[in-house]
Chain A
Amino acid sequence: MFINLQAYLTFARLAFQRQNAYRVANWAGLFTNIFFLFFRASLFESIYPSGTTIGGLNVKQALSYVCLTQAILMVIPQWGVIGVDEDIRSGQIATHLSRPINYYLSTLSQRLGSSAFFLLFRTLPILGIGAFVGFLFLPTSIARAALFLLSTFLGAWIAISIHFLAELSAFWMESSRGIKMLFNGLINFFSGMIIPVTFFPESVRQISRFLPFEYTLNTPTLLYLDKGGNVLHALLAQLTWIGILWIVCTILLSYGERKLVVHGG
């Protein structure tokens, strides 16, 4: 597998360049992201009674939380298309699977390539604006910032695997749209995108701990804010989920492969 590292890096680089070709679309997306930053921040600004700490966050931390999650939501895809279901529907997947390259890893590296693009052209500008208008406080140390980056990378890997899994459902049904919608909703909610997971009632939080979703977006964000508990535990949890999802994706992919009938011509 690691012999092919070069090939996976090429996949990532090409995906990066493809994103780069749609510059106008990126500006438009950035504009929308920033708009929503203000929407989301407004809610938190207005609900916090002065001087309170709720769910472990005071108002300043909550605003930073909003800014960080808003900045990385394109890096760690909350919704979106990986292209697996399209490959299955069109039969292209047969070609992909016959290549001496791991399909899961090549799809993953492509989306990670896009994520790298978004990190530069969405995350950085949004964090910049957030810091400028006073939503975001700067990281307390360079180590914190590095930790945030590392955890964001792991979170992106988890999120992409979840979408990969959802799209694999196209092997078994005519349309994977319903399953995808369901997963988008679950990620959106349990990742802490709408409200921080620390705002959840304890019972819901207990469930969320055992699901992969909060390790996508919530973990890097809370690590940045130094609210994520033990750093090592947090990273280990992320790595564990990567392992589990990788295995599940591989197993389901091979099941699907056996079921696959491609109409030749």
Chain B
Amino acid sequence: MINLYISLLMAQIKGQMSYKKSFVLELIGYLVVNIIDLFVIYFIFLKFPSIKGWSMGEVYYLYGVASVSYAIAQLFAESLEKVPELIRTGEFDHFLIRPRSPILQIMPLSFRLNRIGRLIQGAIALSLAFPILQLELNCEKVMLFMIAVFSAVIVYFGLFLAGAAFCFWTIQSSEALNAFTYGGVELSKYPITIYRPWMRRLFLYIVPVGFVSYYPAIAFLEKSDPLGGPLWASYFSPVIAIIFAMVTWLFWKLGVNHYQSTGS
């Protein structure tokens, strides 16, 4: 199964690399777009002392983890945004009659290597954060970092899946879901304490993007939590993430069962 996925992926990458000039330009374009965000944070801290008690280094850390995780999820799961188009054209049928999971078949479909631009940007954010913070890296820190990235990737993956699943009912891609996907990334760039209580609750407990970015970060940065969250919350993040992804997967299953071909 994985072999199939990898060979489909390689075919995609080869295809994109054959247009070298376009590929390089897209990579640069995407990188610049993202680097701009890092300047924005710097500009904010030139004018303002802190963001709700978070220093520039701390915000760069938070931002870096969010970016790296989103980039990884986007690289592998972005194709799921194609599902509404596949449903409309009736192409989705092809994926159903083949004896492999439709998710695995769709995932490499529009794998866009230039998304690495975001990964690079996230890495830059982190490399800005560490010298400013002057933290001592130990085993626990490395683990917290891994937990943070892993959990966030899983949650974003779940969001892509949920977005695709919705289309079985709405047929068209729903821009409303952008509020949760792009909104989720946007939210996890800054400490969740800056948001209103209703937004906090939504992104801590229902779409846990906030949960998996905030708690591991405060543990990593050794900050006290004004929300008074439990200490184990950071280590619990992967569990929350997996539960969320499972729910979205069940939702997807439900969608596939509900699916009736467009026919013609």
A-side residues, CB < 8 A to B, are 24-25, 27-29, 31-32, 35-36, 38-39, 42-43, 45-49, 54-55, 173-175, 177-182, 184-185, 188-189, 194-195, 199-201, 204
Contact = CB atoms under 8 A, between A and B. Distances in A.
Given A54-B48, A200-B43, A178 B178 contact: no
B25 A199 contact: no
Given A38-B196, A182-B32, A173 B187 contact: no
A32 B190 CA distance: 19
Nearest to A41: B196
Given A32-B175, A42-B194, A174 B30 contact: no
Contacts of B175: 25, 28-29, 31-32
Given A28-B174, A36-B186, A42-B196, A177 B43 contact: no
16 contacts: A28-B175, A28-B176, A29-B176, A32-B176, A35-B183, A36-B186, A39-B183, A39-B199, A42-B195, A46-B193, A48-B48, A175-B22, A177-B26, A178-B29, A182-B29, A189-B36
Interface in B23-43: 24-30, 32-34, 36-37, 39-40, 43
B4 interface: no
B172 interface: yes
B36 A182 contact: no
Contacts of B196: 38, 42
A35 B174 CA distance: 15
B207 to A, nearest CB: 12
B47 interface: yes
Nearest to B18: A174
Given A36-B186, A38-B199, A194-B40, A181 B30 contact: yes
Given A46-B51, A54-B47, A177-B29, 11 more contacts: A32-B176, A32-B178, A38-B199, A174-B22, A175-B26, A178-B24, A178-B26, A181-B32, A185-B29, A188-B33, A189-B39
Contacts, number: 117
Contact of A39 (B30, B47, B114, B187): B187
Interface in B1-29: 19, 21-22, 24-29
Interface in B150-186: 170, 172, 174-179, 182-183, 186
Interface SS of chain B: helix
Interface of B: 19, 21-22, 24-30, 32-34, 36-37, 39-40, 43-44, 46-52, 114, 170, 172, 174-179, 182-183, 186-187, 190, 193-196, 199
B28 A46 contact: no
B51 to A, nearest CB: 5
B179 A36 contact: yes
Contacts of A175: 19, 22, 25-26
A51 B145 CA distance: 38
B44 A195 contact: yes
Contact of A31 (B36, B114, B170, B179): B179
